[in-house]
Structure 1
Amino acid sequence: MPSHSSTYEERVQNFSNPTARSLLEIMSRKKTNLCISVDVTTKASLLRIVDAAGPSVCVVKTHIDIVEDFDQDLIDQLQQLSKKHDFLIFEDRKFADIGNTVTLQYSRGVHRISSWSHITNAHIVPGPGVISGLARAGQPLGRGLLLLAEMSSAGALTTGDYTKTAVKLANEHSDFVIGYIAMSRQGVQSDSDKDFLILTPGVGLDTKGDGLGQQYRTPSEVIFDSGCDVIIVGRGIYGKGEGNDDESIRRESERYRREGWEAYESRCKS
């Protein structure tokens, strides 16, 4: 795996996948490695938070199936905000079924995820078929897939051989798999010269846990110490429930963007 001391801009050439290349270009252009995770249950709150945080982020992560008043207009407006603020959309679907089923879950049904989400992710429990099934729908659209190699929740079973298998499958499908959900670069290290992006949840500046198993680390611990690429932050930015006021969201988004970017710049110099 290439050195994590390379800049995001330098790493663009390591990827053939258009989504991976686009993400690295956005990160360089906007000077941000922040992904906001927007876990709210109404269309209005989702769009409001995304619009407020948009200038500071490279990725917006959604759980679209928790939005109670979901409709196509939500997707249309989310795509407009993606263009307005220059970020990618990541639907955190965590696919985990056989190939034919995930093809349909990804491309059909109410949400039609492949039509609007640049990035999605999958568990490797079903084996390589989950990747080929998602690639059938997503690859013609230039989409990118993340594999869940490690998770931030206490007691997670994504360790040892499970993580090693995720790395093996990523290397075998690197035209579609662009990286991992993982806690450290060391955890997904391989002998391959292929480059993969590492997006890391469980990032917080003001708390170490949420009482439900989530464990938090600082942006510096994730980016500088652990060599990851993108910090995923949710409630630390917008608070609880349906979100804080817009000014608070803008302020906290910028705070996390700054902390993450400074950690990245320090890493590149080390």
Structure 2
Amino acid sequence: MCAARDRHPTFKASFAERANNASHPLANYLLRLMELKKSNLCLSADVTNARELLALADRIGPSIVILKTHYDLVAGWDYNPQNGTGARLGAIARKHGFLIFEDRKFGDIGSTVQLQYTAGNARIIDWAHIVNVNMIPGKAAVTALQQAAARWRSRVNYEVRTSVSVGTPVSDSFDGEDDEQGTPAPTSLSAPKEPPPSSSARTDYNNGRKGSIVSITTLTQSFEPVDSPRFSNTIAEGDELVYAGIEEPPWERGLLILAQMSSEGNLMTNEYTQACVEAAREHKDFVMGFISQETLNTDPADTFISMTPGCQLPPEGDEEDGDVAGDGLGQQYNTPAKLVGLCGSDIIIVGRGILKAASPPQEAERYRRRAWKAYLNRIEQHA
């Protein structure tokens, strides 16, 4: 079925070994996350309302390393950048340890895809760690997305910490008068017990002495480096948990190139696929890998990750490598043993096989175990 690119070195290498050689920070993170969770499963969360999406992410999160979304088919998507649907997904992703992949399939001229990525109501770049591109417009689309991501990244290197203090000088001596010992009384800044006057200063007479009380407001700002996204100050308490054993994901964004499809009769030729590989090599600090049916690593220096849709398991109790029928709409299915074990794919993408199960969390675990077993067999390790 698949030649697995003549058994490229990445075919037998463990995810941990490949993490050490990954040129992309997010690819390094993902490979380490896969080893930590013993998962190479991506859930295609094709649901149609925001409440269901968030609940599904929370329920299936323990089994997956990537959640694939289509934000534009989700009714009730809250676009608030601080505490909307994207921010909520980010909190769930940190808690359970997975990345968010918006399956946008950008496919337009450079200036348009840049705006689709960074602007509009959705501002995909703010909440999606990974996006993908259809290379039909040519390599310029990849270049344009990388430029947009670089500009965005340069603006989020730092967060501004602002501190405001309000106080009233308290003194036993006013207008330069000394205390009884002939020394100036100390002045301290403290919050007044009573609300300050409406004006910044007032004149008062106390025991025949003229006093001036001034309310002082001090504002300080500092710029602190930020290595990873944080929403803990803008979401509900308790949602700021981080998955144990690994740090938060880096700020860098990643791109997958749509190089092959699982649908019957698709028009992606070998020449198109090769152009995708060339574009990835030219943008290795932005392109993490491919949506493909097999590993596309052929050059010794290739370290790309391959993610494959169209994966389905036979019903429980049937032969693990038995035939799986398509969906009647052009989708063709293969098992994890074939895609991971024979074709060298790294991550399987599963949607309806999990979503339509009687117990989606249990079925997600079944897919996770089978895909991980196929990976261990591929690198000749045993569970």
Q: Could you say whether these structures have the same fold, taking a TM-score greater than 0.5 normalized by the shorter chain as the test?
A: yes
Counterpart-to-counterpart distance in 2, 1:3 and 1:51: 32
Determine the structure 2 residue equivalent to 1:152. 262
Q: Is the 8 A contact 2:10 2:18 kept in 1?
A: no
Counterpart-to-counterpart distance in 2, 1:172 and 1:71: 36
Between 1:72-81 and 1:84-93, the stretch displaced more is 72-81
- In the alignment, which of 86, 91, 112 is matched to residue 75 of structure 1? 86
Task: Give the number of the structure whose residues are more often helix, by fraction.
Answer: 1
Counterpart-to-counterpart distance in 1, 2:16 and 2:305: 13
Alignment gaps of 5+ in structure 1: none
- In the alignment, which of 184, 194, 201 is matched to residue 302 of structure 2? 194
Matched ranges for 1:87-126 at <5 A: 87-126=98-137
Between 1:73-82 and 1:248-257, the stretch displaced more is 73-82
Determine the structure 2 residue equivalent to 1:266. 377
Matched ranges for 1:155-174 at <5 A: 155-174=265-284
Counterpart-to-counterpart distance in 1, 2:95 and 2:273: 37
Alignment gaps of 5+ in structure 2: 1-7, 154-250, 315-323
Q: Is the 8 A contact 2:297 2:303 kept in 1?
A: no
Which structure has the bigger radius of gyration? Answer: 2
Tell me the SS of whatever aligns to 1:4: helix
Determine the structure 2 residue equivalent to 1:209. 326
Determine the structure 1 residue equivalent to 2:27. 20
User: Deviation at 1:192?
Assistant: 4.5
Q: Is the 8 A contact 1:171 1:192 kept in 2?
A: no
Alpha-carbon RMSD across the aligned residues, in angstroms, is: 1.3
Determine the structure 2 residue equivalent to 1:135. 146
How many residues are aligned here?
A: 262
Tell me the SS of whatever aligns to 1:120: strand
TM-score, normalising length from structure 1? 0.94
Counterpart-to-counterpart distance in 2, 1:51 and 1:136: 33
Residue 251 (1) aligns with residue 362 (2): yes
Q: Is the 8 A contact 1:2 1:193 kept in 2?
A: no
Instruction: Give CA-to-partner distance per residue, 1:94-121, whole Å, 9 cap, x none.
Output: 0011111111100011111111101110
Instruction: Give CA-to-partner distance per residue, 1:185-223, whole Å, 9 cap, x none.
Output: 2xx243341210000000001342111111110011110
Between 1:255-264 and 1:134-143, the stretch displaced more is 134-143
- In the alignment, which of 6, 10, 13 is matched to residue 3 of structure 1? 10
Instruction: Give CA-to-partner distance per residue, 1:151-178, whole Å, 9 cap, x none.
Output: 0000111121000111111111111011
Q: Is the 8 A contact 1:15 1:21 kept in 2?
A: yes
User: Deviation at 1:127?
Assistant: 1.2
Residue 86 (1) aligns with residue 112 (2): no
Task: Give the number of the structure whose residues are more often strand, by fraction.
Answer: 2
Counterpart-to-counterpart distance in 2, 1:43 and 1:59: 18
Determine the structure 1 residue equivalent to 2:48. 41
Q: Is the 8 A contact 2:23 2:303 kept in 1?
A: no
